[in-house]
Amino acid sequence: MSHAVSIAQYIEHHLTHLAYNVKTSQWQDDGSFWVINVDSLFVAWVLGFSFLFLFRYVAKRVTSGTPGKGQNVVETLLDFVSGMVKESFHGECAVLAPLALTIFCWVFLMNFMDLLPIDLLPRLFGSVGIDHFKIVPTADPNITFGLSISVFLLIIFYNFKVKGGFGVLKESLTFPFGPWLFPINLMFRCVEELVKPFSLSLRLFGNMFAGELIFVLVAAMLPWWSQWMPAGAWAIFHILIITIQAFIFMMLTIVYLTMAHEQH
């Protein structure tokens, strides 16, 4: 970090998205709704397409005989995810397991971007004239809410699909306190459902944003020769966090969708 840039500027630089306003056609984040965080979406796409490409590549050459190295890795992942799904969900649902797999792999990869050196990609993009680039998509609430709201829509969809409109209404009015306290029941149900997307996305976003911020702070505040120690320790700890956060997002999705399928 050069001394020409102040600490505050450095930190702010690292917290600014590469944004494009669709309405005004300008590369500027003016706080309006019509802005796209190009960096978040770009990294998310690159990571998503790369793991989907890898999976498709393996799935096309899949053999029930002796598996190769790639197939081994993918199979282990699939086995792990389908085991998690089967453990809690005991019904027929073609979407749930692939959904859980996609969430786990994608969120893990997006979280993993946090472990890249904090200045590496911004410098690289900076050298070709792109002055802002946030590398961790899951430290952007748009990305985490995008995931959790999709899951939320699926929860609502399956609630109505399994129980029917009347079933959902009946369940909302009579559970958990019986029909005489139906206003309270309904309120409980609404809060319970609405909390789900927030709990999913804010947990992930909070962890990743805080994790990134600590790397930024280490890089901003400490002399260069001592940064390796706190940043290294945090990175090692962060390996655990990114895996756990990806796992929790997947697990909660499974649990929520299982609850949507269950009749009270």
Partner 1 sequence: MNLNLTLFGQMITFAVFVWFTMKYVWPPMMKALADRQKKIAEGIAAAEKSQRDLELAEQKVAEMLKESRQTAAQIIDAANKRAEALVEEAKDLARTEAQRILAHAEQEVNQSVIQAKEVLSSHVGQLVIMTAEKVLRQSIDIEKHHNLIAEAIKEI
Q: Catalytic residue numbers?
A: 199, 203, 207
- Using DSSP's 3-state secondary structure scheme, residue 2 falls into coil
Shortest Cβ 146–partner 1 spacing (Å): 3
Shortest Cβ 35–partner 1 spacing (Å): 4
| Closer to partner 1 by Cβ: residue 17 or 261 | 17
Q: Does 64 bind partner 1 (CB under 8 A)?
A: yes
Q: Does 207 bind partner 1 (CB under 8 A)?
A: no
Q: Which of 49, 104, 66 is nearest to 82 (CA)?
A: 104
| Contact status, residue 114 vs residue 242, Cβ threshold 8 Å | yes
Q: Does 29 bind partner 1 (CB under 8 A)?
A: yes
| Contact status, residue 102 vs residue 81, Cβ threshold 8 Å | no
Phi, psi dihedrals of residue 39, rounded to the nearest 5°? -65, -45
| Closer to partner 1 by Cβ: residue 152 or 215 | 152
Distance CA 81, CA 105 (A): 10
Distance CA 157, CA 200 (A): 18
Near partner 1 by CB under 8 A: residue from 2, 4, 25, 63:
63
Q: Does 10 bind partner 1 (CB under 8 A)?
A: no
Near partner 1 by CB under 8 A: residue from 48, 70, 167, 206:
48
Q: Does 187 bind partner 1 (CB under 8 A)?
A: no
Residues whose CB is less than 8 angstroms from the CB of residue 218 and which lie 6 or more positions away in sequence, other chains included: 227, 230, 231, 234
Q: Does 143 bind partner 1 (CB under 8 A)?
A: yes
Near partner 1 by CB under 8 A: residue from 4, 94, 128, 191:
94
Q: Does 252 bind partner 1 (CB under 8 A)?
A: no
- How many chain residues are in contact with partner 1, going by CB under 8 A? 48
Distance set, CA 79 to CA 66, 83, 106, 183 (Å):
16, 6, 17, 44
Near partner 1 by CB under 8 A: residue from 11, 112, 121, 146:
146
18 burial (CB, 10 Å; 0-12 / 13-18 / 19+) is buried
Count other Cβ atoms within 10 Å, centred on residue 197.
20
Angle, helix 182-221 to helix 7-14, in steps of 10 degrees: 130
| Contact status, residue 98 vs residue 114, Cβ threshold 8 Å | no
Q: Does 101 bind partner 1 (CB under 8 A)?
A: yes
Q: Does 102 bind partner 1 (CB under 8 A)?
A: yes
Shortest Cβ 180–partner 1 spacing (Å): 40
What is the binding site for partner 1 (CB under 8 A)? 15, 22, 29, 31-37, 40-41, 44-45, 48, 52, 55-56, 58-60, 62-65, 71, 74-75, 78-79, 82, 94-95, 97-99, 101-102, 106, 140-143, 145-147, 149-150
